[in-house]
Amino acid sequence: MTDPTYILGIESSCDETACAVVADGHRVLSNVVASQVELHKRFGGVVPEIASRAHIEAINNVMAEALDRAETAAENVAAVAVVNEPGLIGSLLVGLMAAKTAAWVWDVPLVAVNHVYAHAYAPAMDADSIEYPAAALICSGGHTALYQFRSPMELSLLGSTIDDAAGEAFDKVACIMNLGYPGGPPIDRAAREGNAKAIDFPRSLLGGRSLDFSFSGLKTAVLYYVNGVPGERRGRRRKAGPAARRASAQKNAGRGIENFTPQEVADLAASFQAAVVDVLRIKLRRAARETGARTLIVGGGVAANTALRAAMADLADKLHCTLRIPDMPYCLDNAAMVAGLAHHYLNAGQTAELDLGANATVRR
Ligand code: KG4
Ligand code: ZN
């Protein structure tokens, strides 16, 4: 039997400083995540400058703790993997510098990993290998996209959001509802007590065959439902768009969230969530049909959503596909998925030079 290959993964693309040690692309020896949520909470979203500063303060300790918990000496690490795209540029650069330094000092290869592709590999962490080809839906705070994966490394983009990401819609709607940041978990909790059919929010499908997404109309519909349509509130008549017309036609519209009863809040959360889940489900079904994939992958922070997990399990059942959705700790940003995916790049000889750069955005 050959010795296991240990890879140290580093992830700092947004507001989590994360390091992990993974053996042979699957076995997670440590998975350390330092969250910055408390720092960004009062701003209702991630402040890039605060994020990069916090990464600088955390990175050395997080890396040391990942090695410590894995009970692995640095000399056993075969490669250092780092997310270099996409993400907040200042945040990415902190992880990148740490990874380059470690790779140089330990004299091991550096492996560049795309954050979104790592989310699509997350279901393989502490679990069986993923069977390819697969249709993958990645929905997080910064990204919502569909891919066809032919292997962990070979993929084609099928569609992506033309405005907000699904997680961003959760965060913004939670802000409208005064539920705090990040918005996914409190909406998920509130929705459990609510009636998902109480309010008829729009499901934007962008045409019968499109694999792109749009969530900004839904967000506006919630805003109008809660606070009223701007022109109408002041008693003036205005030419209203479809979101406004629909919102103003509904019972309870425009009362302000402070006047909603707990049941009405729950109904609002459940109805909004159902609109997002319906769209994600319909689009993944289209992608599965188009690609003929027998494996469905769902990843990214929104994959933690209870209603989404149930809807995707049901979809996979109906399509006779295998659903691969990560266990909770691997839905949200983490470095285990990064070190895991890097194993395949390392085996294929796809390593990076020490002058590797970072990219804030990628469309492929
Ligand atoms: O993947 P992730 O940790 O970071 C990014 O790459 O963006 O995803 C964070 C996003 C946030 O928008 C958060 O509100 C959302 O995932 N999220 C959820 C849930 N838990 C986290 N959305 C819906 N339901 C949840 N339970
Ligand atoms: Zn992410």
Phi/psi at 81 (nearest 5 deg)?
-105, 140
Pocket test for ligand 1, best of 12, 143, 332, 361 (most atoms within 8 A of CB): 332
Kindly state the percentage of the chain with pLDDT values over 70. 93
Q: What is the 3-state secondary structure (H, E, C) of the chain?
A: CCCCCEEEEEECCCCEEEEEEEECCCEEEEEEEEECHHHHHHHCCCCHHHHHHHHHHHHHHHHHHHHHHCCCCHHHEEEEEEEEECCCHHHHHHHHHHHHHHHHHHCCCEEEEEHHHHHHHHHHCCCCCCCCCEEEEEECCCCEEEEEECCCCCEEEEEEECCCCHHHHHHHHHHHCCCCCCCHHHHHHHHCCCCCCCCCCCCCCCCCCCCCECCHHHHHHHHHHHHCCHHHHCCCCCCCCHHHHHHHHCCCCCCCHHHCCHHHHHHHHHHHHHHHHHHHHHHHHHHHHHHCCCEEEEECHHHHCHHHHHHHHHHHHHHCCEEECCCHHHHCCCCHHHHHHHHHHHHCCCCECCCCCCCCCCCC
pLDDT at 251 (0 to 100)? 63
Does the CB atom of residue 184 touch ligand 1 within 6 A? yes
Does the CB atom of residue 11 touch ligand 1 within 6 A? no
Pocket test for ligand 1, best of 137, 138, 170, 172 (most atoms within 8 A of CB): 170
Closest to 270 (Cα-Cα) out of 204, 187, 178? 187
For the stretch 65-102, pLDDT in tens is 999 999 988 889 999 999 999 999 999 999 999 999 99
pLDDT at 362 (0 to 100)? 84
Closest to 273 (Cα-Cα) out of 175, 199, 164, 181? 199
d(CA 274, CA 199): 10
Q: Give yes or no for residue 284 having a pLDDT over 80.
A: yes
pLDDT band of residue 238 (cuts 50, 70, 90) is: low
Q: Distance of CA 343 to CAs 33, 247, 250, Å?
A: 20, 50, 53
Q: Give yes or no for residue 133 having a pLDDT over 70.
A: yes
Nearest residue by C-alpha to atom 7 in ligand 1: 141
Does the CB atom of residue 302 touch ligand 1 within 6 A? yes
Counting ligands in written order, which one lies closest to the CA of residue 332?
A: 1
Q: Give yes or no for residue 233 having a pLDDT over 60.
A: no
Closest to 260 (Cα-Cα) out of 252, 248, 251? 252
Does the CB atom of residue 12 touch ligand 1 within 6 A? no
**How many CB atoms sit inside 10 A of residue 46's CB?**
20
Q: How far is the CA of 139 from the centre of ligand 2 (A)?
A: 8
pTM, full prediction? 0.93
Q: How far is the CA of 237 from the centre of ligand 2 (A)?
A: 43
pLDDT at 252 (0 to 100)? 62
pLDDT at 3 (0 to 100)? 85
For the stretch 7-18, pLDDT in tens is 999 999 998 999
pLDDT at 135 (0 to 100)? 98
Nearest atom (ligand 1) to Cα of 140:
8
**How many CB atoms sit inside 10 A of residue 208's CB?**
6
Name the more confident of 45 and 214: 214
Q: How far is the CA of 333 from the centre of ligand 2 (A)?
A: 5
Which of the residue ranges 41-45, 178-182, 288-292, 338-342 would you say has the lowest mean pLDDT?
A: 41-45
As given in the structure block, the two tokens for residue 217 are 């109309």
- Answer positive or negative: Cα dihedral of 175, 179, 181, 183: negative
Nearest residue by C-alpha to atom 26 in ligand 1: 305
Backbone dihedral region for residue 359 (phi beyond 0: left; psi -120 to 50: alpha; all else: beta): beta
Does the CB atom of residue 14 touch ligand 1 within 6 A? yes
Nearest atom (ligand 1) to Cα of 300:
1
**How many CB atoms sit inside 10 A of residue 58's CB?**
21
